[in-house]
């Protein structure tokens, strides 16, 4: 990856975090931790790898993205707005009663959203349906599914994984946000799904393990995933919950809690500094 492209993708990730944090502040509600951990993944998908057209969000030949961890809308909406699917200023309506930008993804309301999600454990099954449709219709679009590591404690995920592997759905790429924390604590404390890579391999998936907060590694993994034939690909993205803000990083309390005024000032200050550094580099 060229230095300038890396800088641009890192800058987009930083702005995703800032816009997402502002949306949470305006709404006085929202999920920061898991949104911040996937900012680099969303940056690479929406601004480098996915074949999408904001002016034609339902184009039948587009790539699809299912955000199975559907509560992480602060980051997802920020990415969609920055990509041009709807105006950036609409982010200020996040979670308002009369807004189309609800707390969880809604495919019939938000341009660019391919699947309604929020009931955890169901997104991979929906993505498999899309990948099967591509095969039946002889289309070459890819379907990406972003899963939470706590979410994959759900049994439906592994039934879906078994099906995808058995049917060789090679245009399906699952990305596991392995930030190691969920709403009630660490994975180890709650119900660890580890070893994650071994489980996907047992279900006949190709598995890649990366630093999910490194845009270069994310982009490289997706390039390798696109070249795989005859099996689906799982990218295990090792990330930090709350990545990008020192007081959020690695803190389980930031799964769904809202910051106080002092914490917001600290967070915005750190994000603004990061953005300035990238803009000037």
Radius of gyration for the alpha carbons in the chain, expressed in angstroms and rounded: 18
| Residue in 233, 45, 230 with CA at minimum distance from that of residue 124 | 233
pLDDT at res. 83: 98
With a pLDDT cut of 70, the percent of the chain lying above it is: 100
Q: E strands of 24-142, at which residues?
A: 64-67
Residue 197 tokens, joined: 């890579």
pLDDT digits (tens, 9 = 90+) for 11-28: 999 999 999 999 999 999
172-178 and 233-238 as β-strands: parallel, antiparallel, unpaired?
parallel
Do 126 and 66 touch, CB atoms closer than 8 A? yes
Q: In sequence order, what DSSP letters do the residues of 110-177 get, joined into one string? A: STT--S---STT-HHHHHHHHHHHHHHTT----EEEEEETTGGGSHHHHHHHHHHHHTT-TTEEEEEE
Res 97: pLDDT: 96
Phi, psi torsion values for 131, nearest 5 degrees: -65, -40
pLDDT computed for residue 195 by the predictor: 98
Cα 237 from Cα 40, distance rounded (Å): 10
CB 171 within 8 A of CB 138: no
Per-residue pLDDT of the chain (281 residues; tens, 9 = 90+): 999 999 999 999 999 999 999 999 999 999 999 999 999 999 999 999 999 999 999 999 999 999 999 999 999 999 999 999 999 999 999 999 999 999 999 999 999 999 999 999 999 999 999 999 999 999 999 999 999 999 999 999 999 999 999 999 999 999 999 999 999 999 999 999 999 999 999 999 999 999 999 999 999 999 999 999 999 999 999 999 999 999 999 999 999 999 999 999 999 999 999 999 999 99
For position 158, what pLDDT does the model report?
Answer: 98
pLDDT of res. 276: 98
Task: Give me the pLDDT at residue 124, please.
Answer: 98
Count how many Cα atoms sit within 13 Å of the Cα of residue 221 in the half-sphere of its side chain. 28
Domains of the chain: 3-280 (3.40.50.970)
pLDDT computed for residue 42 by the predictor:
98
């Amino acid at each position: 990856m060229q230095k300038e492209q890396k800088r641009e993708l890192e800058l987009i990730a930083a702005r995703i975090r800032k816009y997402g944090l502002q949306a949470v502040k305006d709404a006085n509600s929202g999920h920061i931790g898991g949104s911040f951990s996937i900012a680099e993944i969303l940056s690479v998908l929406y601004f480098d790898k996915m074949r999408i057209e904001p002016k034609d969000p339902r184009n039948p030949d587009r790539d699809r993205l299912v955000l199975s961890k559907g509560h992480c809308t602060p980051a997802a909406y920020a990415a969609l707005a920055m990509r041009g699917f709807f105006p950036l200023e609409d982010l200020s309506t996040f979670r308002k009663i009369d807004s189309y930008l609800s707390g969880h993804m809604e495919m019939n309301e938000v341009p660019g959203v391919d699947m309604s999600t929020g009931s955890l454990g169901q997104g991979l099954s929906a993505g498999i349906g899309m990948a099967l449709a591509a095969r039946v219709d002889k289309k070459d679009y890819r379907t990406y599914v972003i899963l939470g590591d706590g979410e994959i404690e759900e049994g439906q995920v592994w039934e879906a994984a078994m099906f995808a592997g058995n049917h060789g759905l090679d245009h399906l790429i699952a990305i596991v946000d392995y930030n190691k924390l969920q709403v009630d604590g660490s994975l180890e404390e709650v119900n660890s799904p580890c070893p994650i890579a071994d489980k996907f391999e047992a279900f006949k998936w190709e598995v890649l393990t990366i630093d999910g907060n490194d845009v270069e590694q994310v982009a490289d993994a997706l390039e390798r995933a696109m070249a795989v034939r005859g099996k689906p690909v799982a990218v295990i993205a090792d990330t930090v919950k709350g990545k990008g803000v020192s007081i959020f990083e690695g803190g389980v309390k930031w799964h769904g809690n809202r910051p106080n005024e002092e914490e917001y000032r600290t967070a915005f200050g750190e994000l603004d500094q990061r953005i300035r550094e990238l803009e000037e580099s």
